[in-house]
A and B are shown apart, each in its own frame.
Chain A
């Protein structure tokens, strides 16, 4: 049987009230985290636009700064993906979208992951080629208020500015990504890490160029690009597996989500249940639970029994809302045991 979750007020239907994902009403903690996340992402967009302008004004003919500029442009993609995805995900299910719009999160995650990977790969190619060709980066002077200043100082100042924002914003986003179970936000925090690390790398690189070490800029960039490519690849794999209905995992995709095991625990504790087998997939923020239960021999299962079990499942966590519970004579052997292959 399936239960229609109790919805909130219908009045806000058109305006997508902020405290809801589809039919799932958010607890106060998540509701305020969501408001904060939206504000942070708007702040990120505003900041990154100023960073794009600052870098554009200081880059001159410097190849390194041109790459930094292209990466700042790519860094606009994850916050946009988050805002679009979260707006879609709030919508209630329609007859055309009976599962709701939660999957928009998966698409946003994939988009952000591709952008992150693109930043990493562009940095590898750019700095790798620079080293192979033994390019000596030219940095001349800039006229500033009637004085000729070595442009390296201006680039360092620009990088300090473009690095500080992502450093602070990324750290504020990570806890929200966990509270909201929002993987777009998580990928965006990774992008911000890539941003401030690149900025730091460029600062080290420009100082080294100033000291006559032409190779140090490319070497620093290559060192950093490795970690960005790794983050991008990890997010890309996680996002695509998520869209292929991998069992639900934690917000950082590090482990199978503990709730995937909790479902069978709860069902096993019902006195009328002899055995259960469940599968839990991540719809984006919220989970979709399908569980099969085998009642004890000779025990008649009532609708009340089923409803009690579903209510207990939904009390586990706000993410569990859409639950399908099916009494069967024999547990389906097509569903593997969720307790296996834990990592």
Chain B
């Protein structure tokens, strides 16, 4: 591509280029973003969403049965949206993050905020809700595997609808 410096005239505009690229790619049967490890497709195909839950008062309550609370409810609804059922693993955060890294889990909840320490090991979703506490506003997130961008985008879009 050769661009000549023509002051005051940008051609072609970036937006047209983007639309063009998107159209071309969808015409080839590709969707953007795609998961490198195919998480979203696997959940839909197998009908199982593997979720790790770490106890956090109000957000994730654990007992003898499946976890309850605000986040497990959201997760159950999300799994339903994907046509899947949830397979729960209850453990401490570090252990769950490790499983997420190994590809043994698809999602981790535990009352986590955007200040969580796992950003090098796991991808936090865009904050889906904010909570005002005595220490200031806390933006809540869930953790998904690194780079599973289709799955992450699907979850974020769904949380946008669910939270409002």
Contact = CB atoms under 8 A, between A and B. Distances in A.
Interface of A: 61, 135-143, 148, 150, 152-153, 156-157, 160-161, 164, 167-168, 171-172, 207, 209-214
Contacts, number: 87
A167 B34 contact: no
A172 B153 CA distance: 41
Contact of A209 (B25, B124, B126, B149): B149
B148 interface: yes
24 contacts: A61-B124, A136-B36, A136-B145, A136-B148, A138-B144, A138-B147, A139-B33, A140-B125, A140-B126, A140-B153, A140-B156, A141-B126, A141-B152, A142-B126, A148-B153, A148-B160, A150-B153, A152-B149, A160-B14, A167-B3, A168-B3, A209-B149, A210-B33, A211-B32
B149 to A, nearest CB: 5
B35 to A, nearest CB: 6
Contacts of A135: 146-147
Interface residues of B, number: 33
Contacts of A212: 33-36, 149-150
Given A150-B33, A150-B153, A143 B160 contact: yes
A141 B14 contact: no
Contacts of B123: 61, 138, 140
Contact of A164 (B10, B34, B126, B146): B10
Nearest to A152: B33
A213 B5 CA distance: 33
Interface of B: 3, 5, 10, 14-15, 17-18, 21, 25, 30, 32-37, 119, 123-126, 144-150, 152-153, 156-157, 160
Given A138-B152, A157-B18, A164-B10, A152 B5 contact: no
Contacts of A213: 36
Contacts of A160: 14, 17
Given A136-B147, A139-B33, A140-B152, 15 more contacts: A140-B123, A141-B152, A148-B160, A150-B153, A153-B18, A157-B14, A168-B5, A209-B147, A210-B32, A210-B34, A211-B34, A212-B150, A213-B36, A214-B36, A214-B147
A171 B5 contact: yes
Contacts of B144: 138
Contacts of B145: 136
